[in-house]
Amino acid sequence: MEETAGKTQLKEYFLNTPNLLTISRILLIPIFIILYLEPTSNRSLAAAVVFAFAAITDWLDGYLARTRGQVTKLGKLLDPIADKLLTITGLVLLVGHQKVAIWIVILLISREVAITGLRAIAASSGTIIQADFLGKQKMLFLTGAIMLLILDYNSIGTALIWMALFFSLFSGIQYFIKFWKKIVL
């Protein structure tokens, strides 16, 4: 009886709604890729809808996890990975369609890798470095830029990419400062 109850609790812990939303975001990435590999107006629209839905799950899974008390270690691990996989996929596809300069994408991806590394080092010493306002703004601008560029709203999408790059670099500097103060000093 205890073993069954333990399995049920474990299943509820891992397979709660927020975690399932995060997993669905990861599973939507191949669909997004297939739709946008050879874009037509209909396929671009469908790709943008899939991307938008996946991006909305990022907000929704966090909201549900916090309000329902369903924050899990699995969710803390998978959520940022899902976010990065989705945005990096979008950026790489946009480079392939010559909608974003590769150097911008390299800077954006480099920042993500560096911050992920800093957060992992901090976490290994018991310190959590949370996403801050600038990091969330970066994600908002980046998501909007990717969707608009997919839909060929190039001037607005390019402006948002520049904003995302600004917030990305500025928030990256803030992460390094937080890391230095919490871990090194």
User: pLDDT, tens digit, for every residue of 98-132?
Assistant: 999 999 999 999 999 999 888 888 888 887 777 77
Q: Report how far residue 123's alpha carbon sits from residue 20's, in angstroms, rounded to the nearest whole number.
A: 24
Q: Computed over its alpha carbons, how large is the radius of gyration of the chain? A: 18
Segments making up each domain of the chain, as ranges:
2-184
Q: Report how far residue 146's alpha carbon sits from residue 58's, in angstroms, rounded to the nearest whole number.
A: 15
Mean pLDDT, the chain, integer: 90
Q: CB–CB of 158/149 below 8 Å?
A: yes
Where is average pLDDT lowest: 5-14, 90-99, 140-149? 5-14
Q: Does domain 2-184 have CATH number 3.90.1510.10?
A: no
